[in-house]
Amino acid sequence: METKIEYKSDATQEFKLICEKYWSLATDRKNSFIYTCREIGKEFGFSSNEISTIAKKHATLIILDCQCSSCGTHKTCCTRSELIQLSINSWTCDDCRHQIQQLERRDYLIEAEKIRQQELEVKRNLIALLERHRQFQNLSIPSVKDISNIDHLLLVAVIESVGADNLETTISLRDNLQIPLSPLHRLDAKILRRLCSKNLLLFNTHDAEHYVEAGEQGDLKIDFFQINFNFAYNKAQLHQLIIDSKGEEFRNNLGESLEYREWCQRIQLEECIRYLNKRSEMNDLSPSISEKMESLLDICLLSYSISEVYYIIWGAVENASSYRNKPCITRIHASNSIYGNIQRRYDDITNYNLKKRQYNRDSQHPQSAVEKVFFDRVYRIRDCGFRCTVEALLNSFESEEVSNQSPYTNLLNMQNDYSSVIVNVPKI
């Protein structure tokens, strides 16, 4: 290292000598000194600390081969520790470092402001888009008498599950601690999306911008878990919709509806998937809920009620859990075996190799509003959507027409097959 000592004007000859010894660098080792402060002090009659103070006060060491990376100024050291800590190849003087920091801070502030303005612009555009959308919705609200039967049922389920106390808005699914809207969140979102697209639920422009993003095509990406809506109708109209949904005429119109059948099947499927997910989680398994799995459960539900499919699922997951304990069987292997187990149990029950059984609902997962409205209200039997197949329920419409008897007699007779289970069938 190339260095030069620069003495202060008031340095005496003795102090210059002390400084010279203080800064004498050993040539064989990097950043090490020939004399210790103690040795110099002993020679001149000072303590070690006094030597450091004298050196600092009367001289500085200029490092000739260390220049500021920005302005080229030579580095100077007043103490040995400064020299030891010096990184010769990447040193920047205090002034330049300060200036660089100021520039970096200014750039950062400019960039932050630019981002803030962009975000404000995005928010303004989103609010304008939402307001336009809401205006369009206001002009497109269907007359109450034009609401389809399915939308009518879905709207009643929404009112009963997430309708706020004032019956003007919904609460978000996130905040709903009462009766769930449907068995699974994906069906909740499907219901809300449908009612929103049909202008039965309207964007609440006060805070919707927090839960909506504008897509590239001017479409809206909605967080259905957090958003809340305004109802398109007033309290009296909503009240009437609830009453009408319980009426005989309304009920009779549903029997022939293919869409009603599809919704009933979908609701039952979601209920079974929810149970499959829950049982699998409890056993640290995670089967793929693919179209193939859904198709298999759909087949099960054609012949067996949710209550019986619960039994099939329960056994299938228990078998997979035992399988996992075998050597060389991974979690994925065991999870993948659930599909085959469900299929096997279905076949065994169908071929009378396994006795079918009904399972009860789990108290942590109560009946959802959509199940109450689509099943209990229509057939007037508590939780009949859980205890009966869609086919059996729909057939009850036909038998009612033929025999002109209460359809519930047939359903109750059918339930007598399940001798192991007590079924309560109170009238609603």
> Which residues form the interface with Zn ion (CB under 5 A)?
68, 70-71, 73, 93, 96
Which CB atom, from 40 or from 77, has the smaller least distance to Zn ion? 77
Tokens describing residue 168: 């003007």
Helix (H, G, I), strand (E, B) or coil at 25: strand
DSSP 294-310: HHHHHHHHHHS-HHHHH
159, 192 contact by CB (below 8 A): no
CB of 210 to Zn ion, least distance (A): 49
CB of 75 to Zn ion, least distance (A): 10
Which CB atom, from 70 or from 205, has the smaller least distance to Zn ion? 70
| 77 beta partners | 61
Whole-number Å distance between alpha carbons of 281 and 364: 14
Which CB atom, from 91 or from 304, has the smaller least distance to Zn ion? 91
DSSP 354-385: S-----PPPTTSPPPHHHIIIIIHHH-STTHH
Which CB atom, from 25 or from 68, has the smaller least distance to Zn ion? 68
Helix (H, G, I), strand (E, B) or coil at 7: strand
CB of 85 to Zn ion, least distance (A): 18
DSSP 389-402: -HHHHHHHHHHHHH
Which CB atom, from 93 or from 222, has the smaller least distance to Zn ion? 93
CB of 14 to Zn ion, least distance (A): 34
Nearest-10 crossing angle of helices 37-44, 13-22: 160
Which CB atom, from 93 or from 370, has the smaller least distance to Zn ion? 93
Q: Which amino acid is at 422?
A: I
Which CB atom, from 68 or from 141, has the smaller least distance to Zn ion? 68
CB of 3 to Zn ion, least distance (A): 19
CB of 72 to Zn ion, least distance (A): 7
Tokens describing residue 252: 């009779």
Q: If you count them, how many residues does the chain have?
A: 428
Greatest Cα pair distance, the chain, in angstroms, is 128
Give CA 46 to chain center in angstroms: 71
CB of 67 to Zn ion, least distance (A): 8
Whole-number Å distance between alpha carbons of 88 and 1: 9
381, 413 contact by CB (below 8 A): no
Which CB atom, from 64 or from 112, has the smaller least distance to Zn ion? 64
Which CB atom, from 61 or from 394, has the smaller least distance to Zn ion? 61
Which CB atom, from 70 or from 343, has the smaller least distance to Zn ion? 70
The H-or-E segment that residue 59 falls in is strand 59-67
Which CB atom, from 3 or from 70, has the smaller least distance to Zn ion? 70
CB of 84 to Zn ion, least distance (A): 21
User: What is the distance in angstroms between the CA of the first residue and the CA of the last residue of the chain?
Assistant: 96
Q: Among positive and negative, which fits the CA dihedral 260, 234, 246, 374? A: positive
> φ, ψ for residue 261 (rounded to 5)?
-60, -45
CB of 214 to Zn ion, least distance (A): 49
CB of 92 to Zn ion, least distance (A): 6
> Looking at residue 12, what DSSP letter applies?
-
Q: Which residues contact 333 (CB under 8 A, 6 or more apart)?
A: 323, 324
What radius of gyration, in Å, describes the C-alpha atoms of the chain? 40
CB of 61 to Zn ion, least distance (A): 18
DSSP 125-181: HHHHHHHHHHHHHHHHPPPGGGS-HHHHHHHHHHHHHHB-TTSSBBPPTTT--SS-S
